[in-house]
Chains A and B, each alone.
Chain A
Amino acid sequence: MNKQRVLAVGAAVALVAVLVWLLWDTTPAHTAPNQGGPTPAAAPLVGSPGTFFGATVEQPQRSKAEVAKIEADAQSEVDRLWPHVRKGEPTEAERAKVRVEWVNFSVQHPGNVYIPNEFKPPISAAEEKAVRQQLDDTTALAAKQAAQKHLDRFAQPAAGGPAELTEQQARDSGTTPEQQRNFFNYKIKELESRIQLVEFYLNSDDLGASKKTAAKKELIVWKKELEELMRTRAQVPNS
């Protein structure tokens, strides 16, 4: 063992001995909580370790300076973690601009599904029921489609593609013309609405060249999709 190592070990032993001596003689009286009153709690500072990891504690009275410091720390944390907060909520002028946009848009496209209820006439109870039924039918089929896609996403390619589904098999599994028509009606209405929105956007001064190109490309795809949906809806039997 070299001299340095002996010195290091000796120093460590001495430190431990001092600590043991100090701690051994510490009586419970020194560490017991105050009798007859609540334990003074350390003020949890915003963003400091342990703030939310323990039980909620009673907060002590603080001076104005302490409160100001806590608030400044909190603001600094907000600025650092959530920079968008500094921007604030939309101003009244911005909100007014959105309202004007909706009014203009709804005049041109009154049946568009993206128009908020505030800009449409109130609907009757029967209409509300129809909307809820359409929601049920549309989302049920969306879930079925999603499940099917998920299943096939990682499937090995099969020779000849997926097995054919006959109309009778589909009917036997609960598919009804009413539900399918409701689904196609909604999909068509939504897609037409989306196209109207993007065409409205294209006619505005608010988009740059790259966005314009993307919008035009997307419109071509959506219009093809719309044609296919319309063709398929035309095949749905009356009953």
Chain B
Amino acid sequence: MKNLLLKLLLPLLAAAAPVAATAATQTDMFAKPGVIGDSLSHGFYGATVEKKTQDWAYPVLVTKQAGSSLSYNVLEGPYLNFEDVLKLNCGPICIASSVLGGNASTVALPTHAGITGAEYSTVLRTSGQCEDITARKQERQWYWKTWYWYTYRWVEVADCQTPDKFHQFGLRGSGTQMQIMEKVKPSFLFGSVGANHVLCTALHTSLDCLDADRFKRDFSETMRRLAAMGSLQGGVIFTVPNVTSIAYLEKYTDPQNRPEYSGLKPFYRSSVSSPDQVLDANEVATIGNFLETMNNDIKSQGAAMGFAVADLKVVFDDIRENGRPITGPNGTAPGLARANWPLPNQPGLFGLDGVHPNMLGHAVFSNELIKSINAKYGYTIPAISEYSAWANDSLNRNPVDLKNFLDNNLFGQFMSWVIGVFA
């Protein structure tokens, strides 16, 4: 009798409790999601942004899984999808069109404002029309001083330099990422724009771009303005993975064992002729310390904002070490996905630049954020099938080993473009 009652009651209670406690809240929370972000949220994929890559980017996936949607300006470039070029899916006309760039479709006010190359500093300053909306310059202003004297005076005016094409086509006339959020007034925010504050070290093999004060100042200011909107009920933010262990960098030992010539070099370099071309052990340690401070800041400010905080640094370290198991619904297992671009019989989470996730990588990324959101707010947002993502990811299905294309003349421009975008 007791068992019967227990069997009848427990499922009812289990089903009723989360609904009563969270179902309405989840709907309210995702009533109007908003995104600030960088190339990860924008869907940059070796080496462009286009509809399919924007559709598979993590904020779009997580929002769809939560039963809501985002709006964004759809890009068709600038630059090119290297995978499509190497697979001969994109010919000279397709490349020319993509290199020029443009919009496939636009919206009046995007709710997803994440832009390739952005960091917290550009969230505050770069619009679709001006690289820095706070920049000022002196300009001559001609006027009649009196009836007989036409002269000029120096006045301070906005110094509006045209921004890069990702900002132009992504934000258009809607303002900066921050201004867009202030107009949208989202209920839930994807708020991660930290990666480019440190990714530049890997791409430039240099510490010159590390600026802890600027990160702290602009991250705090972004959070302050987001909180001041008064509309946010929650959000998600993640720690920045270790940029020195991405596929873009590989170990290199100088044949003469000079320590400043040994360390991590870009995967495509055939040799190292200057210490500038590697991150040596001291530099890697400095980047590690910077990351730790930065991630602690992200964790504490994220928690103070009431956001779910996903520790993607830990997740990425684990994937780097152990891989990510991909298992199909009928038990088929293509194997462990690695933190690299896919190879034959070797699933991979990254695209051909060795920096950005592919379609499978974004699904994995999304699931980690969903896990974090569910844990923080008690929701039951369903996970995405990583197997389906793997099975339908063109690069995993038909891998390209980039190292076989290093003698391709286009490769230099492909890498120079990637490096320049994240300058």
Interface residues, chain A, CB within 8 Å of chain B?
A: 18-19, 21-23, 25-26, 30, 43-53, 56, 58-59, 62, 67, 70, 74, 77-78, 80-85, 89-90, 94-95, 97-99, 101-102, 105, 113-118, 123, 128, 131-136, 138-140, 142-151, 153-154, 174, 186, 189-190, 194, 197-198, 200-201, 204, 206-207, 210-211, 214-215, 218
A147 to chain B, nearest CB (A): 4
- B92→A101 contact, CB < 8 A: yes
Knowing A47-B383, A190-B413, A198-B99, the reply to whether A139 touches B55 (Cβ < 8 A) is no
Residue of A nearest to B211 (CB): A154
A106 to chain B, nearest CB (A): 9
Q: Is B61 an interface residue (CB 8 A)?
A: yes
Residue of A nearest to B274 (CB): A174
- B88→A99 contact, CB < 8 A: yes
- From A18, A118, A201, contact of B96 by CB (8 A): A201
Contacts of A105 in B (CB 8 A): 91-92
What is the CA–CA distance of A218 and B204 in the complex, to the nearest angstrom? 27
In the complex, which residues 375-423 of chain B have their Cβ closer than 8 Å to any Cβ of chain A? 380-389, 392, 394, 405-413, 415-416, 419-420, 422-423
- A49→B412 contact, CB < 8 A: no
- A128→B407 contact, CB < 8 A: yes
We find that the number of chain B residues with CB closer than 8 angstroms to chain A is 82
What is the CA–CA distance of A210 and B102 in the complex, to the nearest angstrom? 10
Interface SS majority for chain A:
helix
26 A-B pairs (CB sep. < 8 Å): A21-B2, A23-B6, A25-B2, A70-B330, A74-B388, A81-B384, A82-B55, A84-B51, A90-B89, A101-B91, A105-B92, A113-B409, A114-B95, A115-B409, A123-B407, A131-B406, A131-B407, A140-B269, A144-B204, A144-B206, A146-B423, A150-B204, A197-B95, A197-B96, A215-B96, A215-B100
- A132→B270 contact, CB < 8 A: yes
Residue of A nearest to B92 (CB): A105
Knowing A49-B382, A132-B270, the reply to whether A116 touches B85 (Cβ < 8 A) is yes
Contacts of B329 in A (CB 8 A): 43-46, 59, 70, 74
Interface residues, chain B, CB within 8 Å of chain A?
A: 2-3, 5-6, 9, 51-52, 55-56, 61, 64, 85-86, 88-97, 99-100, 102, 121, 200, 203-206, 208-209, 211, 214, 266, 268-271, 273-274, 276-277, 325, 327, 329-331, 333, 359, 367, 371, 374, 380-389, 392, 394, 405-413, 415-416, 419-420, 422-423
